[in-house]
Structure 1
Amino acid sequence: MTTSSVDDAGRLLDAFDSEQLGARLRQLREERGLTLKEVGRRLGISTSAVSQIERGVLRPSVNRLFAFVTALDASLVDVFGGPEPVDAPPVLDGYVVRRAVEAEVVRLAGGVVFRRLSPGPSRDVDFFESTYPPGSTGSSSSAQNDLLTHVGYEIGTVTQGELTIDFPDERVVVRAGDTVSYACGTPHRLSNQSDGVTVATWVIVHPADAGRP
């Protein structure tokens, strides 16, 4: 994919609005033969709420998005991946460049933005950037049971601002230049408790036996 104009860049940056994100989630669900009711059961929400997310009526939080893709036995990169074949062999004798304006963007509840950094989809690794406006959080509430769990191992570094990470028994604050890693099965919640914008880059490594389609 190549981009040569400001208009093209604008279209890419506006990609994955609520309706497009919902449509992609619906596509992933249907590809796996799952009903709205079954996904709702896995998420612990109503069938109506699942339908509203898929129709773009509700914009999910970060936690809800991760929970949704986990319920689908998918990953964040699958949301970005679109029609690109995840089984494509790696480029061994060349290289792949993805320009900044070509990176797919997902905008979530509370103004949180995810941007895919990997130049192509992969079954094993997700590589992305997250931007948290002041006061934003990965979930819709501060309840302890709103802590997130998903599949894999997560490694992140803060490149701007500071990020607060809540674990079941501890709160950790990481600042620009700091790195954090943890098993994604450890309950956690990310938020920006500061007055400035926080930006972090993340690598999520998926286990080989995760059973992803």
Structure 2
Amino acid sequence: MPKPSAVTEAPSVVGSRLRQLRQRQGLSARELAHRLGISPSAVSQIERGVLQPSVARLIAMTDALGVPLAEVFGGPEQRDEMPEDLTGFALQRFGQGTEMTLESGVIFRRVSPGRTPGVDYFVSTYPPGSAAHPESGMFRHEGYEVGTVLSGELTIDFDGERVVLRAGDAISYPCSRPHRIHNTGSVDAVAQWLIVHPER
């Protein structure tokens, strides 16, 4: 089976969507920066596509905005693919997925074809040496995470413990537990993730 030819999102598009989500919440860049513990200038640079966020920063931003990670993928027209009462269905054909490249070259590709309230479902590709967090520190966020490594080798550091996952290995943990995801191997690591969010 050929590899899907996903639609790649330009940095400016990702930043633009983050800005739209912030404005939809009625938040100023300064207010969002305060929630994140970063400078308003950093928020502005991300929204303008000058600075690419890390995986950790992107998740922190969507958590601070009270929206699932999937809201960053696709334009406004895609956010309403699934009816509010969820009685219909959404369809995404092979090769139609949308992906974004984040800091250090980590690629996120949305797997769910439409709105799936309370759930984020995506595939991530970590090039050798890349990490979800640009620094050695760990991060935490909302929800519960379930991941399966599809290929390569992915390392997850927890407080006082390191877990190395290889193809076929799966892991689950509360996202509130401090962790750091990175690729210590020599080839791309591809993993499939499901994040279940608490009810808001």
Which residue of the partner structure matches residue 3 of structure 1? Answer: none
Contact conserved, 1:81 with 1:121, CA < 8 A, in 2? no
Measured in 2, the distance between the counterparts of 1:186 and 1:77 equals 22
Aligned with residue 140 of structure 2, among 149, 162, 169: 149
Give the deviation of 1:88 after TM superposition.
2.7
Query: Which runs of 5 or more residues in structure 2 are unaligned?
Result: none
TM-score by length of 1: 0.86
Contact conserved, 2:68 with 2:118, CA < 8 A, in 1? no
Provide the secondary structure at the position in 1 that maps to 2:73.
Answer: helix
Aligned with residue 64 of structure 2, among 68, 71, 83: 71
Give % identity. 50
Provide the secondary structure at the position in 2 that maps to 1:164.
Answer: strand
Contact conserved, 2:91 with 2:114, CA < 8 A, in 1? no
Give the deviation of 1:64 after TM superposition.
0.8
Aligned with residue 7 of structure 2, among 13, 19, 22: 13
TM-score by length of 2: 0.91
Measured in 2, the distance between the counterparts of 1:41 and 1:120 equals 31
Measured in 2, the distance between the counterparts of 1:30 and 1:41 equals 15
Provide the secondary structure at the position in 2 that maps to 1:102.
Answer: coil
The alignment status of 1:89 with 2:82, answered yes or no, reads: no
- For residues 118-149 of structure 1, the C-alpha deviation after alignment (integer angstroms, 9 at most, x for no partner) is 1111221111000001111111111x3xx121
The alignment status of 1:98 with 2:89, answered yes or no, reads: no
Question: How many pairs were matched up?
Answer: 194
What stretches of structure 1 move > 6 A for 4+ residues in a row?
none
Which residue of the partner structure matches residue 50 of structure 2? Answer: 57
Measured in 2, the distance between the counterparts of 1:17 and 1:69 equals 18
Give the deviation of 1:70 after TM superposition.
1.0
The alignment status of 1:135 with 2:110, answered yes or no, reads: no
Which residue of the partner structure matches residue 124 of structure 1? Answer: 118
- For residues 153-177 of structure 1, the C-alpha deviation after alignment (integer angstroms, 9 at most, x for no partner) is 1000000011100112111111100
Give the deviation of 1:96 after TM superposition.
4.0
- For residues 8-38 of structure 1, the C-alpha deviation after alignment (integer angstroms, 9 at most, x for no partner) is x97x623x21100000000000000011111
Measured in 1, the distance between the counterparts of 2:83 and 2:23 equals 19
- For residues 157-211 of structure 1, the C-alpha deviation after alignment (integer angstroms, 9 at most, x for no partner) is 0000111001121111111000000011111110000001100001111122xx2
Which residue of the partner structure matches residue 113 of structure 1? Answer: 107
Which residue of the partner structure matches residue 151 of structure 2? Answer: 160
Which residue of the partner structure matches residue 22 of structure 2? Answer: 29
Contact conserved, 1:104 with 1:115, CA < 8 A, in 2? yes
Structure with more of its chain in strand, by fraction: 2
